[in-house]
C-alpha cells in the first residue's frame, strides 16, 4: 500500500508534464512516468480503466499543448543547428589544413623544381601556386610541350607530382 500525502500526489501528478515534454508520444511519456514512479503501478494494475483514462488525458494534452509542441520543435531545431555548426567548424578546419598542406607541398616542390632560376621566376611560380592556377598552368605546359632548360624536371613530371600532392592532401 502506498501512503502519499496531498503534496506527493500533486508533485507526481504534475511531473507527467515533464515526461510529455521529453517524449514524442503520450505512450512514451506514460511509460517513462510509470518507470520513474513505480508506486503508480498499483493504480495502473488494480484500477480498471485507469491506463486508458490517463492515456486519453495525455494524448489530448499532448495534442492541444501548442507550447509543448513548439518547445520540442524549437529544441530540435536548435540542437540540429548547433550540431551542424560544430560539424561545419570541424570541416572548415579540416579543409583549411588540407589546402595549407597542399599549398606548402607545391611551394616546396616549386622551389626544388626552379632552384636554378632567378628569384623573379620563383616568385612568378609561387604566385601561380598561391592563386590556385597550378593545375591549369601545368596542363597548358604539358599540352604545348613546354620545355625549360633551367628546370630540374620536365613539365609532365612536374604535373604528375602536383597531382599526386593534391590527391595525397585531399580527404
DSSP H or E stretch at residue 82: helix 66-113
Residue range 100-114, pLDDT digits in tens: 998 999 899 889 888
Residue range 148-170, pLDDT digits in tens: 887 888 888 888 988 888 888 87
The more confident residue out of 21 and 45 is: 45
CB 96 within 8 A of CB 90: no
When pLDDT is averaged across residues 78-91 and rounded to a whole number, the result is 77
When pLDDT is averaged across residues 46-67 and rounded to a whole number, the result is 81
pTM: 0.48
* Cell of residue 67, nine digits: 507550447
In 3-state terms the chain splits into helix, strand, coil percentages (rounded to 5) of 80, 0, 20
Q: In this structure, what DSSP letter does residue 48 have?
A: T
Domain residue spans in the chain?
A: 6-64, 91-169
Half-sphere exposure of 134 (CA within 13 A, CB side): 24
Amino acid at each position: 500500500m502506498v501512503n502519499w500525502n496531498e503534496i506527493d500526489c500533486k508533485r507526481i501528478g504534475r511531473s507527467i508534464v515533464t515526461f510529455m515534454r521529453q517524449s514524442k508520444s503520450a505512450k512514451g511519456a506514460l511509460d517513462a512516468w510509470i518507470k520513474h514512479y513505480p508506486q503508480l503501478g498499483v493504480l495502473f494494475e488494480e484500477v480498471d480503466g485507469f491506463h486508458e483514462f490517463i492515456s486519453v488525458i495525455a494524448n489530448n494534452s499532448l495534442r492541444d499543448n501548442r507550447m509543448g509542441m513548439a518547445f520540442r520543435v524549437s529544441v530540435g531545431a536548435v540542437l540540429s543547428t548547433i550540431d551542424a555548426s560544430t560539424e561545419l567548424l570541424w570541416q572548415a578546419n579540416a579543409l583549411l589544413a588540407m589546402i595549407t598542406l597542399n599549398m606548402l607541398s607545391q611551394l616546396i616542390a616549386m622551389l626544388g623544381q626552379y632552384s636554378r632560376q632567378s628569384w623573379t621566376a620563383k616568385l612568378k611560380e609561387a604566385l601561380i601556386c598561391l592563386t590556385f592556377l597550378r593545375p591549369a598552368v601545368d596542363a597548358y605546359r604539358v599540352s604545348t610541350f613546354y620545355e625549360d632548360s633551367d628546370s630540374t624536371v620536365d613539365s609532365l613530371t612536374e604535373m604528375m607530382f602536383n597531382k599526386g600532392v593534391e590527391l595525397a592532401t585531399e580527404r
